[in-house]
């Protein structure tokens, strides 16, 4: 087994420090930073939206006269002012139902909190008062709040056609599930439900928009400035070169800081007023309408032989996506988690994304993987108990091996292997899941329990341990980077990646500094500005270190190649024999023969070296996935039902670790988010009004210091042959297996299986009482 602590790998020469707020605000978006002073000649206006009190309604009358008459109000907009081009398309050609398109503002509102109108005024207070003065008459329409109910034939239509997004489920399969069923000697099955919850980034999303004639500049919370530019160009019918989108550092994101219409509404207000307008979400708006995690219902069956091998896995999920932004990517991530963690010749997934009148769901750290792993890893424990096998032993026997899944490859040989495959016959680039399981068991002090829950009693309470394994994609997408090396010996990295708290500012500079053999502090970065930084993928799906890191590495290597070509003429040595040390370019064998780096740069065209890279990350021969094994010890009060996590061990295979401190921070932070998801976080909806019931931190419970146990974050390092310096994904995996590990620990403690999240005290107490009857 690979040694865990300390790492056997030599550290990178450049050890960067973690990003700080001051670093990010001053440097991350160099050209993207701005001061409100530039707008003070006319005055910066403040925007506020009026939101629907109904889950589904048609606006039949809207009067803005009182709002417009309020002193300090500069503009009021509604669906009457919306551009003719949609923000989100309706039905594709040939689809069964007429799905209505979504505009910047709409005459039909489809969830409580949907935008009805917006105001721009001299102050936030005036804007809020004006929004309250808008008179709206609604005609309430039938509504549906639950995904499964929305998929029934007689359900109210949310968008004017079928409530099944895309008119068809997402389906993929490997092998033959029916054959696997015929071979099974034991079949276990269950239904598992997960709740809606909010990412709850500390800083709410904000946007500032400003027009100069027909040119639009937007500063906004964003993971994808080029994607935002594309949407704004379509809505306002403008060429790309007339729109600039800048993504300044605006705090953590966890996937939630875009996908709304905030940017387009703010830009529409700015166009109508002819002035710069700033608008953002309140905490209540973030919690109630700021993109939730998809609530899901998953039915899963697993076939087993008596020796413990798996003959088939068959899963079907319904996802509540709200009325907009169908979550096809979430469903695909869910299906990958359900079908690829365990070696199994026959697997199938059917995902149905349902339009409902709940507030809109969207990206949240891990997408559908936490929902998938809660279902699969809970069922895995149930399967082990049926077999009278220890849960750890079940996973060690059945987890997917480095050679990949059984079966034949279906991806053409000259294509990149998908990051979330279903096919067999493709090996992993690296896979240390077995080592993660064994090391985690050793650290937690795992005791085999082949005969089911142990129910260890101590001081009137019960203790138990649980585990869950995890598989997760390493983000593979398009990226590009530019590295400029200047005559003063410094370098600048330009990328359209967004710094959203994940540490891109540190990690990517580290990679460039390592490649250029340069001091870390000499490398600066400009991120997320469509006018100055090259195209890049969305900052999502655990892509920063792997995909962005590869692009940054290739651009730095291109710059280094040019430096060595120029220096080779000065030093009369082959480029392959040169090195950079302490600001000097020298010959490796005779380092005293050297020339200052700045002198080499000044001999280059325009006295600057520009390295460039454009790529689509991935492999044509291997699957690039990360793995983890999590272990939890809990204490359960049988009378109150309260669950307290006593210890937690999280062991991760994420390749070589570029920045160990940041990596452990990612693990600890992900586990804490997972604790909230498992035990307490939930946004219930009033079934009568359709309104979210937890709109502030007095009712939306998140883990505090008393809830957080000691967390042992462990990194098993083995360089991956594809990633930059051997790195793989780590941003999202730490959250993924937490709920399942805790649910399994609760079962070991008290013998009750909670199959719907969160695992609240009320659910546990009720289950214990029913067990006693």
For the record, the structure tokens of 735 come out as 């959250």
d(CA 345, CA 31): 52
- CB crowding 325-347: b at 16 or more within 10 Å, else e: bbbebbbbbbbbbbbbbbbbbbb
Could you write out the DSSP letters of every residue in 332-388? HHHHHHHHHSB--S-EEEEEEEE--SSPPB---TTTTHHHHHHHHHHHHHHHHHHHT
d(CA 547, CA 473): 12
Do the Cβ atoms of 630 and 468 come closer than 8 Å? yes
d(CA 591, CA 579): 9
In sign, the C-alpha dihedral spanning 285, 104, 100, 253 is negative
Residue with tokens 């190649």: 561
Strands 523-527 and 491-495 turn out to be parallel
Is the backbone of residue 283 left (phi > 0), alpha (psi -120 to 50) or beta? alpha
Task: Kindly report the number of other CB atoms within 10 A of residue 212's CB atom.
Answer: 9
Q: Residue 278 belongs to what H/E stretch? A: strand 277-280
- Best CA proximity match to 223, nearest among 547, 506, 499: 499
d(CA 399, CA 625): 14
Task: Kindly report the number of other CB atoms within 10 A of residue 487's CB atom.
Answer: 18
Q: Three-class SS of residue 741?
A: helix
d(CA 311, CA 406): 11
Angle subtended at Cα 224 by Cα 723 and Cα 267, rounded to the nearest 5 degrees: 170
Peptide bond into 6 cis (omega under 30): yes
Catalytic member of 148, 681, 732, 762 = 732
Could you write out the DSSP letters of every residue in 176-236? -HHHHHHH-SEEEEEEEEE--B----SSPPEEEEEEETTEEEEEE--S-HHHHHHHHHHHH
- Best CA proximity match to 281, nearest among 395, 144, 108, 124: 124
- Best CA proximity match to 81, nearest among 91, 71, 70, 68: 68
Strand partners, 303: 187, 312
- Best CA proximity match to 131, nearest among 60, 53, 219: 53
d(CA 406, CA 386): 24
Q: Is 406 exposed, middle or buried (0-12, 13-18, 19+ CB in 10 A)?
A: middle
Edge to edge, the sheet with strand 57-63 lists 108-109, 57-63, 135-140
- Cα-based torsion angle of the residue sequence 757, 761, 767, 768 in order, rounded to the nearest 10 degrees: 150
Mapping DSSP onto H, E and C, the string for 8-44 reads CCCCCCCCCCCCCHHHHHHHHEHHHCCCHHHHCCCCC
- Best CA proximity match to 332, nearest among 367, 363, 361, 292: 367
Do the Cβ atoms of 311 and 722 come closer than 8 Å? no
CB-based contacts of 371, cutoff 8 Å, min separation 6: 194, 293, 294, 296, 298, 317, 334
Could you confirm whether 639 is annotated as catalytic? no
Where would I find the H helices in 479-628? 504-516, 549-571, 597-602
Active-site residue set: 732
């Amino acid at each position: 087994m690979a040694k865990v602590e300390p790492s056997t790998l030599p550290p990178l020469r450049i050890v960067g420090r973690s990003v700080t707020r001051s670093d990010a605000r001053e440097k991350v978006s160099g050209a993207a930073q701005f001061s409100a002073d530039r707008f003070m000649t006319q005055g910066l206006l403040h925007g506020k939206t009026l939101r629907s009190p109904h889950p589904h309604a048609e606006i039949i009358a809207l009067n803005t006269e009182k709002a417009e008459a309020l002193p300090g109000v500069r503009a009021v907009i509604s669906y009457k002012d919306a551009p003719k081009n949609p923000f989100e398309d309706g039905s594709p050609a040939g689809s069964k139902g007429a799905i209505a398109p979504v505009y910047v503002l709409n005459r039909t509102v489809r969830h409580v909190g949907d935008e009805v109108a917006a105001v721009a005024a001299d102050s936030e207070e005036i804007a809020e008062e004006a929004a309250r003065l808008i008179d709206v008459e609604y005609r309430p329409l039938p509504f549906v709040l639950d995904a499964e109910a929305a998929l029934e034939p007689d359900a109210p239509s949310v968008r004017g056609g079928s409530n099944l997004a895309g008119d068809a489920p997402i389906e993929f399969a490997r092998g033959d599930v029916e054959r696997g069923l015929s071979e099974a000697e034991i079949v276990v099955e269950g239904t598992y439900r997960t709740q809606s919850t909010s990412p709850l980034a500390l800083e709410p999303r904000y946007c500032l928009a400003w027009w100069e004639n027909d040119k639009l500049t937007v500063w906004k919370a964003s993971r994808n400035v080029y994607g935002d530019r594309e949407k704004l160009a379509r809505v306002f019918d403008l060429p790309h070169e007339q729109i600039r989108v800048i993504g300044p550092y605006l705090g953590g994101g966890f996937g939630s800081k875009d996908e709304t219409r905030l940017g387009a509404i703010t830009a529409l207000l700015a166009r109508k007023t002819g002035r710069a307008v700033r608008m953002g979400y309140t905490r209540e708006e973030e919690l109630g309408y700021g993109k939730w995690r998809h609530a899901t219902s998953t039915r899963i069956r697993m076939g087993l032989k008596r020796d413990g091998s798996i003959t088939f896995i068959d899963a079907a999920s319904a996802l509540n996506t709200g009325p907009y932004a169908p979550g096809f990517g979430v469903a695909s991530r869910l299906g990958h988690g359900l079908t690829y963690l365990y070696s199994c010749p026959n697997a199938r997934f059917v995902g149905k994304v349902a339009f409902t009148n709940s507030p809109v769901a969207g990206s949240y750290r891990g997408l559908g993987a936490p929902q998938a792993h809660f279902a699969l890893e809970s069922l895995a424990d149930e399967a082990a108990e049926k077999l009278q096998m220890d849960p750890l032993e079940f996973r060690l026997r059945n987890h997917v091996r480095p050679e990949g899944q059984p079966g034949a490859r279906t991806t053409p040989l000259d294509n990149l292997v998908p990051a979330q495959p279903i096919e067999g016959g493709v090996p992993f680039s690296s896979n240390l899941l077995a080592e993660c399981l064994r090391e985690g068991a050793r650290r937690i002090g795992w005791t085999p329990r082949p005969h089911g829950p142990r129910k260890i009693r101590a001081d009137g309470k019960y203790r138990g341990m649980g585990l869950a394994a995890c598989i997760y994609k390493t983000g593979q997408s398009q990226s590009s980077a530019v590295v400029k090396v200047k005559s003063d010996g410094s370098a600048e990295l330009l990328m359209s990646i967004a710094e959203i708290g994940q540490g891109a500012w540190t990690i990517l500079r580290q990679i460039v500094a390592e490649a250029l053999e340069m001091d870390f502090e000499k490398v600066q970065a400009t991120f997320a500005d469509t006018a100055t930084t090259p195209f890049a993928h969305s900052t999502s799906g655990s892509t920063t270190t792997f995909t962005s890191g590869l692009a940054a590495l290739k651009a730095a290597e291109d710059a280094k190649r040019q430096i060595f070509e120029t220096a080779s003429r000065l030093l009369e040595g082959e480029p392959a024999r040169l090195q950079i040390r302490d600001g000097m370019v020298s010959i490796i064998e005779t380092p005293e023969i050297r020339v200052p780096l700045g002198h080499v740069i000044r001999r280059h065209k325009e006295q600057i070296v520009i390295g460039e890279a454009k790529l689509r990350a991935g492999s044509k021969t291997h699957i690039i996935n990360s793995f983890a094994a999590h272990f939890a010890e809990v204490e359960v009060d049988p009378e109150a039902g309260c669950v307290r996590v006593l210890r937690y061990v999280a062991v991760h295979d994420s390749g070589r670790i570029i920045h160990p401190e940041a990596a452990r921070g990612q693990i600890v932070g992900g586990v804490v988010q997972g604790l909230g998801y498992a035990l307490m976080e939930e946004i219930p909806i009033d079934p009568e009004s359709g309104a979210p019931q937890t709109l502030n931190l007095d009712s939306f419970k998140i883990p505090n210091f008393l809830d957080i146990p000691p967390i042992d974050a462990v990194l098993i390092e083995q360089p991956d042959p594809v990633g930059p310096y051997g790195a793989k994904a780590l941003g999202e995996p730490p959250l993924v297996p937490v709920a399942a590990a805790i649910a399994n620990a609760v079962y070991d403690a008290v013998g009750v299986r909670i199959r719907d999240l969160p695992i609240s005290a009320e659910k546990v107490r009720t289950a214990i009482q029913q067990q006693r009857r």
